[in-house]
Amino acid sequence: MEKVLGKANSLLRNRQLVEAISEYNRVIGQVGVTLPSDILSAAYNNRGQCNYLLVNFPEAIEDYSVALRHQPSNHTALFNRGLVKYRLNNFPDARTDLKQALKLRPDFPEAIECLESLEHAVREGSQAELCSDD
C-alpha cells in the first residue's frame, strides 16, 4: 500500500489529478485490509485536495470530512475543508474549521492568513477573497 500511496502523492504533486484520484481510490478501497487511521486520513485528505483543485467542491468537503473522522486531529484536513467552505462563502462553517485547525497547530501560517482574509470579508460584507490554498 505504501507504494500506491507514494505514487498517488507523486501524481498529486505533479498535478496529474485524475490519475492521483484513481490511486487514492485504490488505497481507500482496499477490501480486507485494515490501514492505520493516519494513512486513511492522509489518503482522504489528499484525494480531497485533488477534488478541490478540480473544482469538485462537494466531493472535496466530503473527503476532508472523512479524513477527519479517521483522524480528528488532522489540522491540514480542517484547514482544507475550511478553505473550501470559505471559497463557497460559507463563512460561519469556514471560521469554525479554520479556528479548530489553529487550535491544533497555532503556528499554521496559511490558516492564519485565511482566517484574517475571512474576517476582512465578513467586516466588509464582501465575497471571499482568495487566500493561500497550497
Helix (H, G, I), strand (E, B) or coil at 99: helix
- Is the predicted pLDDT of residue 131 greater than 80, yes or no? no
pLDDT for the residue numbered 31: 56
pLDDT of residue 30: 78
DSSP-based three-state secondary structure for 13: helix
User: What confidence category does residue 132 fall into, taking pLDDT thresholds of 50, 70 and 90?
Assistant: low
C-alpha cell belonging to residue 70: 479517521
- Using alpha carbons, select from 109, 121, 46 the residue that is nearest to residue 77: 46
Q: What is the pLDDT of residue 123?
A: 86
Reported as a single tens digit per residue, the pLDDT across 77-124 is 999 999 999 999 999 999 999 999 999 999 999 999 999 999 988 888
pLDDT given for residue 124 in this prediction: 82
The half-sphere exposure of 124 on its side-chain side, counting CA atoms within 13 A, is 10
At which residue does the C-alpha cell 477527519 appear?
68
Q: What's this model's pTM, rounded to 2 decimal places?
A: 0.90
- pLDDT tens-digit map of 51-81: 999 999 999 999 999 999 999 999 999 999 9
| Whether 118 contacts 79, CB under 8 Å | no
Between 27-31, 76-80, 89-93, 125-129, the lowest mean confidence (pLDDT) is in 125-129
* Cell 494513512 -> residue: 39
**Backbone φ/ψ region at 21: left (φ over 0), alpha (ψ -120 to 50), beta:** alpha
